[in-house]
Amino acid sequence: MKNSSGLVSLYVTSCEKDLSPKVTVNQLKGAMPNLDPSSTVETDFGLIVNLANDKDVQKILKLDLAKVFGKPVQVVPLFSGHFKKIVSFKDVPWCIRNEELEICLMKQGIHFGKLSREKSTVFIELSDFPNYHRLREEGINFL
């Protein structure tokens, strides 16, 4: 569940068909006062919790999460060391070299594992949710 930057990312969501009210960071913060709320992202249906280490993961997993959130929940790891997410960009001109793409990604602050190309499609491998999400949302910024 650890990614390349050392964070461990978990997804917490309700098991119920009716997702309202959704699980919130404040509910989790009440059960884990040392949790950094800035490292947790609320989605439409749950939480993405980015933790610094496996000890924090164990703390969350030992909690009675159904009691914390007032309903049954499930916790799923988003990334593992054995599984990488790949973002692809189609129709990237060949005149834009891979080295230039790598520089653009570094300037954006996106940490990636591998950049490869097949014809006009560029594949970028990422191993943590924050960078994966940012790259999908922002794309490659050449400015």
pTM: 0.53
Indicate whether 16 and 52 sit together in one domain: yes
Residue 127 belongs to what domain range?
Answer: 85-138
Q: Which two tokens stand for residue 19?
A: 């997702």
Indicate whether 49 and 90 sit together in one domain: no
Indicate whether 28 and 69 sit together in one domain: yes
Whether omega for the bond prior to residue 21 falls within 30 degrees of 0, making it cis, is: yes
Query: Of 1 and 39, which is predicted with more confidence?
Result: 39
Q: Which two tokens stand for residue 111?
A: 């940490």
Closest CA to 48 of 25, 32, 71, 72: 25
Q: Are 113 and 84 in contact (CB under 8 A)?
A: yes
The total of structural domains in the chain comes to 2
143 domain residue, yes or no: no
Tens digits of residue pLDDT in 112-124: 989 999 999 999 9
109 domain residue, yes or no: yes
Tens digits of residue pLDDT in 63-81: 888 888 888 888 887 755 4
Q: Distance between CA atoms of 29 and 136, rounded to whole angstroms?
A: 28
1 domain residue, yes or no: no
27 domain residue, yes or no: yes
